[in-house]
Structures are given as C-alpha cells and as structure tokens.
Amino acid sequence: MSDCKKIYFASDIHLGARFHADSLAVEKKFVRWLDSIKSSAQAIYLLGDIFDYWFEYKYVVPRGYTRFLGKLAELSDSGIEIHLFIGNHDIWMFDYLPQEIGAIIHREPLTVDLLGKRFFLGHGDEVDNRSRSFQFLRKIFHNKICQRLYGSMHPRWTFGLAYGFSHSSRKAGLKRPENQVGIDESSEYLASFAKEYLKTNPDINFFIFGHRHVMYDLMLSKSSRLLITGDWIQFFSYIEWDGEEMRLEEFEG
C-alpha cells in the first residue's frame, strides 16, 4: 500500500435498526460511501454500533446486511485494512467477520500511529461513567458467562428481545436535547475524558470516538484534537485523514 493513501473513520450506522425510515436505503448509501473511498483508502476504522444488533452463534449469524458485508469483503480482498470496533449495540461480534472478511475486531480502545500521528480510538461508551445503570448493563453484556448463557437461548427469543430493547433505548436517546443541539465542551464527558487522559499521555494527537451521534471537532491543546464521528441516522458523516488534514464530512452520494 502506498503511503499517500488515506485513513477513514465512521460509526453508528445502526444497520437494521427499526428507527431508520428505510434501513436498506441506509445500507445502500453506506455501500456507496465505501465505493467512493475504495481507491483512496488504506484503512477503514468503523468505530462501533455498525449493526443495531449483532449476535453471532457458533454456526449461525444474523440475516441481512449482504451488500454491506460483500463490500467489506471486496475492500478487504483488495488490501484495505478493515477495523471493526464493538459498540454498545454490536458487542457480540466474535470470529465470524475476522474469518469471513479478514476484519480486525477491537474490543477495547486502541492507541495507534496512523500516517505519522498518534491516535486514541474507541466507540466512546468505554469511558462513559455518567450512568451507573448503563455501566452495569455494559458489564453484563461484556461478561463471557452471560454471553454463553445468552448464546444458549434460541435466536427467536433473543433477537426479538434485543430489537425491542435497542429501539426503546435509542428512541429515548434521540429525545435527549443534547442530541439535537450538539454538545457543550464543559459537560461533554468525552472531552473531559480526553483532557484527563492527555495529562498522562500527552503524545496523543487525535482522539476519535463515535457513540454520541453528534459531529464534533474540538482542539484540546496545540497538538491534540478530539473528533466525534456523527452517525448514519441524521448526518451520514465520516472522518478522513490524509496525514496532513483531518476532515469531518457528510457524505452526499
């Protein structure tokens, strides 16, 4: 891969979500975006909540998403690195996508050097300490034994439950005023987290997160910046890094 190729970031596509007016249209639009970047991308980081719900069993995976998965496979086969971060909706991606597509799954935030700068990447829920009940659920969802028990239930029960749960939690989320008017630096927990983290890790140049469903770009210091990817519900947004410029854009295709 040549060094001049770019790195892309996106998150919170929530494929399959009932709150998309037309989930298939969103999938097709996301595939058009992947097509539009395939000749310039060297790596794509999908920072979580790619699927609104994903639980894979040992021999069975959720139906749907064939265009998206096919396009990821094509890009991966052409030599583009595909990185998938688990979000808080698609925690249960295991070995299927690595085996089938060659995707690299990240279950924890990642510090990585990309085109000469140091990045701290995560979905954004890992460092969300605002709600105790959220952290409690997060622990259960990430627990191996709970995952095994859940995996032993028939999908007929688990999928129905999960889609209902996702629908109600997102509906509640969309009603929060912060999601409509953007976020305020002094109360934004990801900004507080990044500033605190910089004290012990001053070499991080870019913090990039998803999860918040806002497009956000904040200088934290002379050499450090925080970006939040937006989503594919209202913004159809992504981030492009070419080694010199960092752009937060909306896809119009």
> C-beta of 58: minimal distance to Mn ion in Å?
26
Supply angle C-alpha 240, 243, 246, rounded to 5. Answer: 40
| Residues of this chain, 49-78, that bind Mn ion according to CB under 5 A | 49
Q: Which is closer to Mn ion, CB of 87 or CB of 230?
A: 87
Q: Which is closer to Mn ion, CB of 168 or CB of 201?
A: 168
Choices 2-10, 33-41, 87-95, 157-165 (CB under 5 A): range interacting with Mn ion: 87-95
Site string for Mn ion, 205-234 (x = CB under 5 A): ------x-----------------------
Query: Does residue 166 touch Mn ion according to CB under 5 A?
Result: no
Choices 25-33, 45-53, 91-99, 127-135 (CB under 5 A): range interacting with Mn ion: 45-53
Task: Locate 43 and state its tokens.
Answer: 């790596």
Q: Which is closer to Mn ion, CB of 41 or CB of 97?
A: 97
Choices 26-34, 79-87, 152-160, 182-190 (CB under 5 A): range interacting with Mn ion: 79-87
> C-beta of 252: minimal distance to Mn ion in Å?
24
> C-beta of 87: minimal distance to Mn ion in Å?
4
Contact 111, 202 (CB under 8 A): no
Longest dimension (CA), the chain: 53
| Residues of this chain, 137-156, that bind Mn ion according to CB under 5 A | none
> C-beta of 54: minimal distance to Mn ion in Å?
13
Q: Closest by alpha carbon to 167, among 156, 178, 159?
A: 159
Query: Does residue 87 touch Mn ion according to CB under 5 A?
Result: yes
**Which of 88, 166, 224, 237 touches Mn ion (CB under 5 A)?**
88
Cα torsion angle, 234, 83, 212, 111, sign: negative
List residues binding Mn ion (CB under 5 A).
Answer: 49, 87-88, 211
